[in-house]
Amino acid sequence: MKIQGAVRFLHLPIIVLGILSSSAVADQVVLQNGDRLTGQIVKFDGKDLTLKSEFAGEINIKWSAVQRITSDQPLQVESSDGQTAVGPVTTSDGNFEIATKTRGTVAIPKEKISHMRGEAEQSAYEKSLHPGLRDNWDGGATVGFGLTRGNSETKNLALAFTADRKTLHDKLSLYANSIYATNDATGAVPSTTANAEQGGIRYDHDITPRLFAFVGADFQADSLQTLDLRSVFGGGLGFHVIKRDATTLDLLAGINYTHEAYTTFSRSFAAATLGDEFMHKLHGSTVLTQSFYFFPNFNDPGEYRTTFNFGTVTKISKWLGWQNSFGDIYVTNPPFGKKKNDIIFTTGLNISFMHRGELK
């Protein structure tokens, strides 16, 4: 009995130290109504304070409801006047006091705090400022195939690929699509009823929150128009008319150099670039996109080319969706005997991907 009592006596300090150490690493938030919340402060984004609780998960607290906080972990605190301080935080007389290692205690009034981040959140934020080239990619590939046999003998294949890499101040976009169709009936003329490919790359960089510069290159081929290759290289300026998570609208203007190689001749000319790009998310599961570009020819007034694209992607699951895409390319001066309009409509399954990279 004495031995068991001694063992229990030795365990008591260990249990007490465990309780004290677990409470020592917890941050505490006191609300205006006197309620106390304990957990780990994740961030303050200018509107809400996010606290991660062991049992309740992440909790978003209105900043106006916060009376004071106490953190044992270092927090990165930024003020509206550009001041930054890092260290454990306490609150006194309406000021947030940060115990920095090099500057001592720095006091910032609550109403002047613009952002606050815990260590993990600060690491993620810094990584977002300078991501690796393989990070921050979103995109998808679409495949559509049709086949008939019997009274009609046809087949068609449509492929599309898009990928965007966005950071805080720039964006890199890639795209490619093709459609191929044949009439396999004996004696059918033409036997190839569609054979067109498109692809391109564009880089945008923000100059101000609204104004951005862009450069890009586009390539097109269409065997039925006898277009072996159209190469377009250009750049210019754009303006974010609307820039929200659910809706964006950009207007763009610039110049480009175009080289067209047809089967029977080729030509090169300079042209203007005028256009718009629109995106809107419907109900969280469907994304609608639209773009229109007008390219007036500097070398031959009255001649021009336009491109119009409209598409939707509806999510079926996290990685699978249904995509519809409509495109129209209009050329005022195609080769003799060829039509001015080329319209492409594709529909099919969209397989999406995302690569964010891992924090180190």
Using the predicted structure, report yes or no on whether residue 58 has a pLDDT greater than 90: no
Number of helices and strands in the chain (H, E): 2, 23
Residues 67 and 30: beta-carbon distance below 8 Å: yes
The Cα 12–Cα 144 span in angstroms is: 69
Mean pLDDT of the chain: 86
- Rounded mean pLDDT, 197-207: 95
- Rounded mean pLDDT, 54-78: 89
Residues 31 and 43: beta-carbon distance below 8 Å: no
pTM for the full model? 0.68
Phi, psi of 185 (to 5 degrees): -65, 145
User: Boundaries of CATH 2.40.160.40 in the chain?
Assistant: 137-355
CATH superfamily of 137-355: monomeric porin ompg (2.40.160.40)
> Minimal CA–CA distance to 335: which of 222, 229, 225, 196?
225
Grade residue 253 by pLDDT with cuts at 50, 70 and 90: very high
Grade residue 357 by pLDDT with cuts at 50, 70 and 90: low
Using the predicted structure, report yes or no on whether residue 3 has a pLDDT greater than 80: no
* The pLDDT value given to residue 25: 56
Using the predicted structure, report yes or no on whether residue 23 has a pLDDT greater than 60: no
332 contact partners, CB below 8 Å, separation of at least 6: 302, 303, 304, 305, 340
Using the predicted structure, report yes or no on whether residue 205 has a pLDDT greater than 80: yes
The Cα 344–Cα 84 span in angstroms is: 54
Using the predicted structure, report yes or no on whether residue 17 has a pLDDT greater than 60: no
- Rounded mean pLDDT, 153-169: 88
* The pLDDT value given to residue 137: 84
Using the predicted structure, report yes or no on whether residue 126 has a pLDDT greater than 90: no
State pLDDT tens for residues 105-117: 999 998 899 999 9
CA angle 154, 160, 161 (to 5 degrees): 160
Higher pLDDT, 54 or 107: 107
Percent of the chain with pLDDT strictly greater than 90: 50
- Rounded mean pLDDT, 250-272: 96
Grade residue 245 by pLDDT with cuts at 50, 70 and 90: confident
